[in-house]
Homo-oligomer: A and B are copies of this chain.
């Protein structure tokens, strides 16, 4: 979880927005919206998830590496976590 209340609020806002987009998508499915309009809604949810992922990576790097004097072990753990996530993301 983000260290700062401000970062936590930013993340919560993004999560809530994605939640709203998903609810809107379900309404679209039930109201005979053309397929291509639904495709654009889904692409927007995907984009929002990408934005949230980028934001959380930035927060994690900041919290783990720029707060106090992280030990070599702490830096190594953070580096492994981010590298692992990016590797799995960049298949």
Give A residues with C-beta under 8 Å from B. Answer: 1-2, 8, 11-12, 15-16, 18-19, 22-23, 25-26, 28-29, 31-36, 38-40, 42-43, 45-47, 49-54, 56-66, 70, 72, 75-76, 78-79, 81-83, 85-91
Contact = CB atoms under 8 A, between A and B. Distances in A.
Quickly give the copy total for this chain.
4
**Considering the complex of A and B, which 4 residue pairs feature the smallest CB-CB distances, nearest first?**
A46-B49, A58-B83, A50-B90, A35-B60
A43 B85 contact: yes
Nearest to A52: B42
Contacts of A49: 42, 45-46, 49
B36 A57 contact: no
Given A43-B85, A46-B89, A29 B53 contact: no
